[in-house]
Amino acid sequence: MSSQPMTFHPAPAAVAPIVADKWSVEDIVALFNLPFNDLLYRAQQVHRENFDANEVELATLLSIKTGGCPEDCGYCPQAARYDTGVTAQKILPLETVLDAARKAKEHGATRFCMGAAWREPKDRDLEHVEEMVREVKALGLETCATLGMLGEGQAEKLKQAGLDYYNHNLDTAPEFYGNVISTREYQQRIDTLGRVRDAGIKVCCGGIVGMGETRLQRAGLIAQLCNLDPYPESVPVNNLVQVEGTPLHGTDPIDPLEFVRTVAVARITMPKARVRLSAGRRQMGEAVQTLCFLAGANSIFYGDKLLTTGNPDVEQDQALLEKLGMHSRGIAIDARCEVTEQ
Ligand code: SAM
Ligand code: DTB
Ligand code: SF4
C-alpha cells in the first residue's frame, strides 16, 4: 500500500455562471468546454435544486396524421418530397387516438403527445384535434400537440380545448438553419411560439443535434432557447434519427458524450424546464441514456414508436428505470383541468 496521502480536488473555480438571467453564446460555449466531470457535476447541482433527481416523466407520442408533408425539413421522413417509404395517411379517427391514450395511461404514461405532419393546421383539422385534446384530457392525461405553425386564433382554440403543452421546435441555431430547412423561416417559428405563450399554453421547444452542426452552433441553439422570455417549460433534445431517403441520412453521427454535454448545458441554462431525452434513444444504449439522466434529463418518450421511427419498448424502459432506481412522475388532474404533481 502506498503511504501517499489522498489529495482532495475541489470543484474548479467557475468559468461560467452556474445560473444566469441571460446567457451569451460565449457563456454557453464555456459550459460546453468544461471538463466532462465538472459539467456533469454542475448539471446535477442545478437538477437537484429544482427536481427530484430520480424522477422521470413518461410521455407517449402518437402520429395522428402521418406523412405527405409539403415542407423540406432535411431530417424528416414525413416530407412528401423525400422517398423514405412513409406513406401519407389521413388524420386518425378519434377512437383510435383514445385507444392509444388509454393504453399509454395503463402503461404508466402521464403525458400524451399528438403529432401531425402539417406545415400548419387548417381550421377544420384543428376542430378534430380540439376534440382529441378534450377527450384525452378527460382520461386524466396531460396533453401536448405538435401541428406545425399556428395562425391567428388557433392557439386560443387549443387552449380552450384543454391543451397543456404545444411542441414547436427551433431545431437548430439560426446560423445553421438554412442548411436544414428552406420552406419556413426561423422567425415564423418564433412567432408561433409567441402565439402559444400568449394563449397561456405551456411551451415545449427544443431541437435536434447530430445534423452536422458545430459545437458553437449547438451553443447557438441553446442560447435561442434559454433566452426566450420565459424559457420553455419543456425542452426536447433530439438526437437525429437518420432515415434513408432524407438529405441528412449519412451525416456523421454526433459523439455520444457530446450529446450528453448538450443535455447538461440545457439543464444548467434552463433549470426548471423538463429536459426531454427525445428521439434517438434506441441508438444510444443504456449507458449513454444513464449519463443523460445524470446530466439532468427528466422526461422520455415512452412506447415502442416515436412518430414513424422506433423507440425502446416499454419493457426495456421499465427495466432500465428499475435498474437505476428511478420512478415516474405522478400527476393529478382536477375538475378544472389543473395539473398538480403527486
Ligand atoms: N410538422 C410539425 C412541425 O414540424 O412542427 C410537427 C411534427 S415534427 C415531426 C416535430 C419535430 O420532430 C421536428 O421539429 C423535429 O425537431 C423532430 N424530428 C422530426 N424528424 C426527426 C428525426 N429524424 N430525428 C430527430 N428528430 C426529428
Ligand atoms: C420532438 O421534439 N421530438 C418528437 C416530438 N417532438 C414530436 C418527434 C421525434 C420524431 C422522430 C422521427 C419520427 O419518428 O418520425
Ligand atoms: Fe413536415 Fe414537421 Fe416533418 Fe418538417 S418536421 S417535414 S413540417 S412533418
Of all protein residues, the one whose alpha carbon is nearest to atom 1 of ligand 2 is 236
Active-site annotation holds for 292: no
Distance 88 CA to ligand 1 centre (A): 16
Distance in angstroms (rounded) separating the CA atoms of residues 47 and 267? 7
Distance in angstroms (rounded) separating the CA atoms of residues 181 and 71? 8
Write b or e for each residue in 44-56: b if 16 or more Cβ atoms lie within 10 A of its Cβ, otherwise e.
Answer: bbbbeeebeeeeb
What one-letter code names the amino acid at 302?
Y
In sequence order, what are the residues at sequence separation of 6 or more whose Cβ sits closer than 8 angstroms to the Cβ of residue 185? none
Question: Mind listing the pLDDT tens digit for each residue in 291-309?
Answer: 999 999 999 999 999 999 9
- pLDDT of 13: 44
Distance 14 CA to ligand 1 centre (A): 36
What's this model's pTM, rounded to 2 decimal places?
0.94
Question: Mind listing the pLDDT tens digit for each residue in 50-99?
Answer: 999 999 999 999 999 999 999 999 999 999 999 999 999 999 999 999 99
Residue ranges in the chain whose pLDDT is less than 50: 1-3, 10, 12-13
CA angle 202, 206, 209 (to 5 degrees): 170
Q: In DSSP terms, which residues pair with 305 in a beta bridge?
A: 310
Question: Prior bond to 93 cis, omega within 30?
Answer: no
Distance in angstroms (rounded) separating the CA atoms of residues 266 and 226? 8
Active-site annotation holds for 205: no
- pLDDT of 330: 76
Active-site annotation holds for 73: yes
Characterise 73 by phi-psi region: left (phi > 0), alpha (psi -120 to 50), beta (else): beta
Per the residue annotation, which of 42, 144, 205, 267 is the catalytic one? 144
